[in-house]
Structure 1
Amino acid sequence: MRATLTCVLCLLAGVLALVLGATPAQAGVLTRAEMTRRFPAPLMVGEREADLPVWPLFKQNATATELVGYVFESIDLAPIPGFSGVPLNLMVAIDPKGVFIGVEVLSHHEPVFLDGLGEAPLYQFVKQYKDLSLKQNISIETGGHRVRHPDAAHAYIDGVSKATASVRIINQSVLAAALKVSRKKLGFAAGRDPDQIARVRQDVFEPLDLKRMMADGLVQRLRVSNRDIERLFAGGPGAGLDPQALAQPDDTFIDLYLACVSVPSIGRNLLTAAGWRKLQGRLEEGDHALIVMSSGRYSVTGDDFVRGSVPDRILLRQEKLPIDMRDLDLDLKLALPLAADSVTIFRVIGQAGLDPASPMDFALPVTRNKGIVYPERITRELSLRYTLPQRLLTKVEDNSKSWPGIWNARRWELATLAAGLAVLSVALTMQKRLTANGSRFNWFRRAYLVFTVGFVGYYAQGQLSIVNVTGVVQALWARRGLEFLLFDPMTVALWAFVLVSLLVWGRGTFCGWLCPFGALQELTGKLAQWLRIPQLRVRHRTDARLKYIKYVALAGIIASAFFSNELTDKLVELEPFKTAITLSFVRSWPYVAYAVGLLLASGFVYKFFCRYLCPFGASLALLGRFRLLDWIPRYKDCGAPCQTCRHRCDYQAISPSGAVAYDECFQCMDCVVIYESDEKCAVRILEIKRHRTIPIQPAARSSI
């Protein structure tokens, strides 16, 4: 019990540390000298910028100094935790057009790449970003889902088998960091991720006139008179400074019509057929075009406006974030009768992150000057909100950048897992009926263990591990979020079920039914018994002491997670799960020998690793102490005097007194089968004998 107490105290200390304070998240590690070494002449490394942690790269071009790009570390801009709970740190370089110059791995703690697959596949994966553009939709292809149609708007990179979730986290780290830099330095607006927003339906066209379009909100109008604009400045220093507004209050200040002309139901109705074709030729996939038609004394372009530039008299914001618009320098004719002195088409590039499904807020700044030498500028804004109807839009399918896309891609696997968990739940809830026939129960259990090994383990890669625990501890300790867990839907789904089952039945549901390596061990042990390999039964006292080892291992691993990620990476190798299940024994020979050795040991000592060494099992045993049910039925004679179940329990989880040690119970239900059997349960056999009576027939009397 001392080891168990030590483990509990260690976990409580960790929780207390999280409550009282935490160490700050890791920051970038590159220095000016290191940057100069990595980017030698003719390149020149500028000073690290203060407003954003990026290093500008320059080169001399004749007499001019030319900007080559920006270099930054992903951990400074997108510290997304990997599966160890520690963010990967990647050096990313992009040029002024948003094209990747290169991506390199500076540090990582991804279990699958540490002495697993090795780091070579990781380095090969990040090399694929070179020459790709942020203007492209970059997707990861794995396995049989390879549909390559690369073009200016789409790019595809090969994933890494057995590391699908890890490379998706890497991809999100690279793109999230690069998009932050591009929005700040390259003119991309600070909008949403352009691949996670709605799209305009190009296949929908509705013939509409101007009256119907205005009624539906497809065209918005803003009419402001001189009187209205004077009211806007009333009560402030700008009041009364416009003589024309005071002299002609009812005249039009601006009469503006605005629409998203890249929507077919708008553009094809507003523009001539030739104008629509011309507009389409100037837009790339994901771009939006906004038409502004106005008349009156105030123009959105102004006398000093330069065609092709960004306007300063009309601004676009979405969710309070500015989004750049640029004049397309197009002269297009209108197909509908609409009086307008000025018609201007503005383009919003796809990378700006404009979401057509969300309201667009337009502002027209109107400025008045007061004074002569140093005039005071007083600015007020006219506002207009524009929203497209949902019938003209469609939600984009999530891709590998975001965890919802991963869940969607694995929906059939999740459905299969859900069905399997439902079957298990029903079976365990109806244990009396399940165990009524011992032979039938044995077939059910073996079939389910095969499902666990084959589907949950090797196919769906749903092996829960102590790495899940240390990852959460390390992320919380560094005050990082837990979103990284969502990149592995099978793990999240299993954890959700296991946390519930811990409260109901305890540790045994996962360890006895859902652990792929545990199931592999049990099948190995059953095969050894069928082959009549001698089974070693450890003495009760020795067995009890050996079971403390896993708690000591758990305490050591959890403690290491607070001060040394490198040590944690080594200690978690006590588990053979990565070797046997995740990597299917494709690993360097010491790890394979260790995993195979544990399987062979289970052929002699039943589930040797699970009972004595598994730190993850120890963590579940501690959590399982909060279970609600003592679900194994017992007779008052169990243990005193009957010892049948104790001697037949391969896990040695039943004490001589007949009490069940639920911390060590794997829910194999062999004792429940015995309990329900009239042929195996000594208590039931004796009870039957006590109630068995032999009828005595009176002797037949012969008549005289």
Structure 2
Amino acid sequence: MSRLWVVWLIAFLHGLASDAQAGVMTRASLQQRLPAPLVVGERDAQLPVWPIFRQDATATALAGYVFESIDFAAIPGFSGTPFNLLVALDPKGGFLDVQVLSQHEPVFLEGLGEAPLIRFAGQYQGLSLRQNIKIGSNANRGEERGSANVYIDGVAKATASVRILNQSLLSAALHVARARLGFAPGRDPALVARLRRDTYAPMHWDALLKAGLIRHARITLGTVEKAFEGSGVEQPMAGAAGETFCDLYVAYLNAPPVGRNLLSDAGWQHLLGRIDDGDHALLVIASGPYTFVGDKFVRGAVPDRLTLKQGELPLELRDLDLDDPLALPASLRGADAKVFRVIGPAGLDPAQTLDFSLRVTRDKVMVYPERISRSFALPYTLPASQLTPPDTDSKGWHGVWRSRAWELAVLTGALALLAVVLARPRWIVATPTRLARFRTGYLVFTLGFIGWFAQGQLSIVNLTALIQSARAGRDLAFFLHDPMTVALWAFVAATLVVWGRGTFCGWLCPFGAMQELVGQAARRAGIQRFKLHRALDAKLKGVKYAVLAAIIGLAVVSPTWTDRAVEIEPFKTAITLNFVRSWPFVAWALGLLLMNAVLYKGFCRYLCPLGAGLGLLGRMRLLRWIPRRSECGTPCQTCRHRCEYQAIQPGGAIVYEECFQCLDCVAIHDSPERCAPLIALRRDRVITIRPLPASIRSDA
């Protein structure tokens, strides 16, 4: 029956799938948010963006575009609902402004409040899509603000949430930049190979040619004439077919072996000062009767005879207007030599072949003149030794996993140890002292490392986010921004099938560990716990399933009410925010901990919606792994009376949905000193049978 319930729930959520949310801003509301002299224009007919103009006396210049991130990158946050950001970009891809329009992140709703999130978003102002924006140390702000790599401050306790905001913002902005600002379609400037800075070696011209750092193509008169055959514009040129029409050379000038050998030291520094980090300086030299510099070419312009493509991507070459002398061989002195720049946002990848083409155009004289062109290719591939491969997408989840590799390694080791202990518990349960010490030590690790340090507290919020994302038809990749949560859920999913709910609730829940440690301290202080009557205990254990059903229902219909309902969990207050929160939430968390001192893990057993969900999923458990004897329950009740969770029925059966896998009953089962059936079997123990006292016999 439980499996049918799970299947029905999945089908129900799938059937609720619908389109993602769209933006809500109007031209009037945008104008209110943008300061004068900025003026919002009419919404673009093809794209949900608004142009913004700057009024300057009688002139009106395009200042950029403004848009909502949710229209382009509806990446869910940890509530399952995407951030919606108001983003203003200037024509060069710089951020004029970033504002938070809406968000449902649990940590920013009540815990930290929205102020840290607003401050975080404000850091983007003045940065650019030309830069690789990373979350981390803010040390290279100020003078280094114009560099290709820039770091902005994160938000403590909300690392995963701000990374999702970062990805949402940059994905949406790149979409608009590609569509309206001429950025390369389908390419992210942060994900292309980079030129190495440590490859310089003294080399002369011929050595550069031999190394492939300079590429050469010789186009002859005969080659040109053959290309125009049958076009109607055959114009035989003076000279033999084998004579040179154009000698063409191309090179990556900002590759250190090229630039530092062809330029003087001052010229090299001048070149680096003229281009931004990530831009490409390409040297083109031509000699012969025909060159790439036409009669109408002006300095600083785009050449009309020379084109560059990479695959199907056309790239703009613009003259850098450099006059620094080049160390060229005698045969090329006096040749046309120009340095062209390709900006970083254009998406050029130096690891891929650059296809240069020299275009030759002739006029076909007719009533209506026609121009016919032919192109002569010169492919250029920079040697791999000059390149650094691109990093994995630092804007996405890959970089997050790399940055937390050591934490994941520690967690993996701890989970492996726990799996071995639970699968082979005999050594741990051999003595009560050994089990108590191991369990207490592991709970301290769970609270300190998994909870407070690594922020790995699993929560019902994870399930509501899954539901809301499924309902809106969104990708679930946002979970990958929190590697600790993903790793823990993977382990919990596997152990649910093997052992049931107890692995997480008994060993890996930081708030559960906190409760147990508080309970141990209370017992040392002499505070006595009490147990509820079995019937009342059974009824109260059903409450958490009602709480779970209510939260799931709200997740389907109302993100706002879901945000409020999940506060029944004290996890955010006690673990994520370390009790630094408004007093009602702190009082709730402390009240649950104090209740635990006299009623063992009352929240976990009676109220926790996550525990209820795991209990339902744990019904798919494959093993009844806790050993039982025929005497268990009839007549022996030792384990049942010792079970703090009241998860053993009078008949001796284990209620696995309520078992926290503490191993106490396993230790009793294996102990010749504590297990009554084993005690009865001991041959060296003699139980003396004495007759009843006379007074009792007479009463009978």
Q: TM-score, normalised by structure 1?
A: 0.89
Tell me the amino acid that sits aligned with residue 322 of structure 1.
P
Map 1:156-235; keep pairs closer than 5 Å. 156-190=151-185, 192-228=187-223
Q: CA deviation at 1:226?
A: 4.9
Give the whole-Å Cα distance in 2 for the aligned partners of 1:183 and 1:536. Answer: 66
Q: 1:501 aligns with which of 468, 483, 495?
A: 495
User: How big is each residue's C-alpha offset from its partner over 1:344-387, in whole Å with a ceiling of 9 and x where there is no partner?
Assistant: 21112333343333443444555566563445566665444433
Query: Which residue identity does 1:641 align to in structure 2?
Result: P
Which structure 2 residue ranges, 5 or more long, are not aligned? 689-700
Would the aligned equivalents of 2:16 and 2:470 in 1 still touch at CA under 8 Å? no
Count of residues in correspondence between the two structures: 684
**Equivalent residue number for residue 316 of structure 1:** 308
The equivalent residue for 2:528 is 534
Q: Which residue of 2 aligns with 1:99?
A: 94
**1:192–1:355 contact (8 Å) kept in structure 2:** no
Q: What SS is found at the alignment partner of 1:285?
A: coil
Q: Is the 8 A contact 2:139 2:151 kept in 1?
A: no
**Which of 61, 66, 74 lines up with 2:61 in the alignment?**
66
Kindly indicate whether the alpha-carbon contact (under 8 Å) linking 2:54 and 2:60 is maintained by their aligned counterparts in 1.
yes
Partner of 2:624: 630
CA–CA separation in structure 1 for the residues paired with 2:32 and 2:398: 40
Aligned pair partner of 1:283 in 275, 278, 289 = 275
Q: CA deviation at 1:453?
A: 0.5
User: Of the candidates 470, 473, 476, which is equivalent to residue 467 of structure 2?
Assistant: 473
Partner of 2:426, secondary structure, is: helix
The answer on whether the counterparts of 1:326 and 1:347 sit within 8 Å (CA) in structure 2 is yes
Cross-structure match for 1:486:
480
From the superposition, tell whether residues 223 and 662 of structure 1 become closer, same or farther in structure 2 (CA, over 3 Å): farther
Alpha-carbon deviation of 1:682?
A: 1.2
Change in CA separation of 1:364 and 1:581 when aligned onto 2, cut-off 3 Å: farther
Paired position in structure 2 for 1:438:
432
1:680 is aligned to 2:694:
no
> Cα distance, 1:293 vs. partner?
1.9
Aligned amino acid, residue 563 of structure 2: D
Tell whether the 8 Å contact from 1:92 to 1:100 is kept in structure 2 after alignment. Answer: yes
Residue of structure 1 equivalent to 2:118:
123
Residue 328, structure 1, aligned to residue 320, structure 2: yes
Shift of the alpha carbon at 1:671?
0.8
Matches within 5 A, 1:208-607: 208-228=203-223, 239-244=231-236, 249-273=241-265, 275-296=267-288, 298-318=290-310, 320-337=312-329, 339-340=331-332, 341-364=335-358, 372-375=366-369, 381-395=375-389, 401-607=395-601
Structure 1's 329 and 604: CA in aligned 2 closer, same or farther, altered over 3 A?
Answer: same
- Contact 2:14 2:470 (C-alpha < 8 Å) held by counterparts: no
DSSP-derived class of the 1:521 partner: helix
Asked whether the equivalents of residues 160 and 167 of structure 1 are also in contact (C-alpha less than 8 Å), the reply is yes
Task: Give distance in 2, aligned partners of 1:329 and 1:78.
Answer: 39
Question: Aligned AA for 1:193?
Answer: D
Once the two structures are overlaid, the 10-residue window that deviates more, 566-575 or 389-398, is 389-398
Q: In 2, distance between residues paired with 1:633 and 1:318?
A: 67
SS at match of 1:666: coil
CA distance in 2, matches of 1:124, 1:536: 49
Give, in angstroms, the shift of residue 215 of structure 1.
4.1
Instruction: Confirm whether residue 84 of structure 1 aligns to residue 74 of structure 2.
Output: no
> Structure 1 stretch 266-275 or stretch 167-176: which is displaced more?
266-275
- 1:21-55: CA deviation from partner (whole Å, max 9, x where unpaired): 72111111111221233336543211111233221
- Please name the residue that 1:697 is paired with: none
Q: CA deviation at 1:329?
A: 1.4
How far has the Cα of 1:279 moved from its partner?
2.2
One-letter code aligned to 1:551: Y
Deviation at 1:532, TM superposition (A): 3.5
Give secondary structure in 2 for the equivalent of 1:538. Answer: coil
Q: Report the counterpart of residue 653 of structure 1 in structure 2.
A: 647
The code of the aligned residue for 2:103 comes to H
Residues 1:330 and 1:437: Cα distance change in structure 2 (over 3 Å)? same
Which amino acid is the alignment partner of residue 278 of structure 1? H
Post-superposition offset of 1:583: 0.8
Any stretches of 5+ residues in structure 1 without a counterpart?
695-704
Alpha-carbon deviations, 1:467-497, whole Å to 9, x = none? 1122222223322222222221211222222
Q: After TM superposition, give the deviation of residue 259 of structure 1 in Å.
A: 1.5
> Per-residue deviation at 1:664?
1.6
State the Cα deviation string for residues 491-548 of structure 1 (Å, max 9, x = none): 1222222222223222211111111011111222223333333323223233223222
- Which residue does 1:702 correspond to in 2? none
DSSP-derived class of the 2:440 partner? helix
Matched, 1:49 2:44: yes
Q: Tell me, yes or no, if the aligned pair for 2:183 and 2:345 is still in contact at 8 Å.
A: yes
**SS, match of residue 112 in structure 1:** helix
Q: Shift of the alpha carbon at 1:632?
A: 1.5
**Aligned CA-pair RMSD:** 3.0
Q: Which residue of 2 is the match for residue 698 of structure 1? A: none
Q: In the TM superposition, what is the alpha-carbon distance from 1:677 to its structure 2 partner?
A: 0.8
* Change beyond 3 A, Cα 1:588–1:241: same
Q: How far did 1:626 drift?
A: 2.8
SS of alignment partner, residue 160 of structure 1: coil
Q: Does 1:109 align with 2:109?
A: no
Q: Is the 1:195–1:398 contact (alpha carbons within 8 Å) kept by the matching residues of 2?
A: no
Distance across 2 between alignment mates of 1:231 and 1:562: 70
Provide the residue aligned with 1:39 in structure 2.
Answer: 34
Q: Within 2, Cα distance between the matches of 1:453 and 1:186?
A: 49
Structure 2: how far apart are the matches of 1:615 and 1:359? 56
**SS of corresponding position for 1:71:** strand
Kindly indicate whether the alpha-carbon contact (under 8 Å) linking 1:191 and 1:354 is maintained by their aligned counterparts in 2: no
